[in-house]
A and B are shown apart, each in its own frame.
Chain A
Amino acid sequence: NAGVTQTPKFQVLKTGQSMTLQCAQDMNHNSMYWYRQDPGMGLRLIYYSASEGTTDKGEVPNGYNVSRLNKREFSLRLESAAPSQTSVYFCASIARLGGDGNTIYFGEGSWLTVV
């Protein structure tokens, strides 16, 4: 049982380049999330998907797009990377139903540097 898997783990981009962070969970969870982590700021929500077929903006959505491809996969795209997007990105999922319904499961993180 792999849990939440996100790729790549490390990436260096040049300003203006685009890239997609991939996230997949194998726990049949309904809700998925993308957060960014910056020093002293905790984790801030970029986008989330409450269920397959829906996506919504979080606290810091500017410069990002997302796709909930199916129930398993939720990708985050940077169309034109900026140095301000240098951060650590975490994908997460929650079941919402059942005894473990609101435990948050995280991927291992993606360290992104934009130069």
Chain B
Amino acid sequence: AQSVTQLDSHVSVSEGTPVLLRCNYSSSYSPSLFWYVQHPNKGLQLLLKYTSAATLVKGINGFEAEFKKSETSFHLTKPSAHMSDAAEYFCVVSLGGSYIPTFGRGTSLIVHP
């Protein structure tokens, strides 16, 4: 079975400061991992994905994530937050073979001026 835990339901940062959104996963096999972003009343947009190539994955809008197998983590980071980054972020795990994506409960990123 697979599962994903987003460790913080809310993260609050000031504009221009670093962002860290934490995600841990549980999987018996090598997973594919994703981060999606959802702005208020909008659909889901792919930020980045890990599919067993480079462990440091770069995504859109300056976000990146590092796959750490020993820690079963896939934390999302950005060096400098922008007001437009305020949104809900979802970590998703999908096992190759089953292809049933499982979502974390989401982290709401709040960016203060």
Q: How many residues of A contact B (CB 8 A)?
A: 23
* A115 located at the interface, meaning its Cβ lies under 8 Å from any Cβ of chain B in the complex: no
User: Does A96 contact B99, Cβ atoms closer than 8 Å?
Assistant: yes
* A41 located at the interface, meaning its Cβ lies under 8 Å from any Cβ of chain B in the complex: yes
Q: Which A residues are CB-close (under 8 A) to B92?
A: 104
User: Does B43 contact A40, Cβ atoms closer than 8 Å?
Assistant: no
* A106 located at the interface, meaning its Cβ lies under 8 Å from any Cβ of chain B in the complex: yes
Residues of B84-107 at the interface with A, using a CB-CB cut-off of 8 Å, are 90, 92, 94, 96, 99-106
User: Does A43 contact B99, Cβ atoms closer than 8 Å?
Assistant: no
User: Does B105 contact A102, Cβ atoms closer than 8 Å?
Assistant: no
Q: How many pairs of residues, A versus B, come closer than 8 Å at their CB atoms?
A: 52
Closest B residue to A95 by CB, please name it.
B99
Cα distance A107–B44 when bound, in Å? 8
User: Does A43 contact B90, Cβ atoms closer than 8 Å?
Assistant: yes
Within the complex, the shortest CB–CB distance from B93 to chain A, in Å, comes to 11
Q: Which B residues are CB-close (under 8 A) to A103?
A: 34, 46, 49
* A24 located at the interface, meaning its Cβ lies under 8 Å from any Cβ of chain B in the complex: no
* A34 located at the interface, meaning its Cβ lies under 8 Å from any Cβ of chain B in the complex: no
Q: Which A residues are CB-close (under 8 A) to B44?
A: 90, 106
User: Does A42 contact B43, Cβ atoms closer than 8 Å?
Assistant: no
* A92 located at the interface, meaning its Cβ lies under 8 Å from any Cβ of chain B in the complex: yes
* B77 located at the interface, meaning its Cβ lies under 8 Å from any Cβ of chain A in the complex: no
User: Does B106 contact A42, Cβ atoms closer than 8 Å?
Assistant: yes
Known: A42-B106, A102-B99, A104-B92. 11 other contacts (CB 8 A): A40-B106, A42-B90, A45-B100, A45-B101, A58-B100, A103-B49, A104-B34, A106-B36, A108-B42, A108-B43, A109-B42
Mind listing 24 A-B residue pairs with CB under 8 Å?
Answer: A31-B99, A40-B9, A40-B105, A40-B106, A41-B105, A42-B90, A42-B104, A42-B106, A45-B101, A50-B99, A58-B100, A90-B44, A94-B94, A94-B99, A102-B51, A102-B94, A102-B96, A102-B99, A104-B34, A104-B36, A104-B46, A104-B92, A104-B101, A107-B43
Binding site for B on A (CB under 8 A): 31, 33, 35, 40-45, 48, 50, 58, 90, 92, 94, 96, 102-104, 106-109
